[in-house]
Amino acid sequence: MDNNMKYVLSMQDIQSIVDNANQQHVDCTENELYQAFLYYYDNDAFILFDDK
């Protein structure tokens, strides 16, 4: 840990979040990925995006 920061998600978690988002939307926006990260962090579950 540097700068008094700590890990909250593993790299595997992060990759899984990105993979799940990309399976739902091939061209995820940065905002959608950010929403997916926040949702996972708050709910310990993957976000379900509405169809575009």
For the segment 1-52, what is each residue's pLDDT rounded down to a tens digit? 567 766 788 999 999 999 999 999 989 999 999 999 999 999 999 999 986 5
In Å, how far are 18, 19, 27, 39 from 32, measured between CA atoms? Answer: 10, 12, 10, 10
Per-domain residue ranges of the chain: 11-43
pTM: predicted TM-score of the whole model, two decimal places: 0.80
Biggest CA-to-CA distance, the chain = 40
Residue 28, pLDDT score: 92
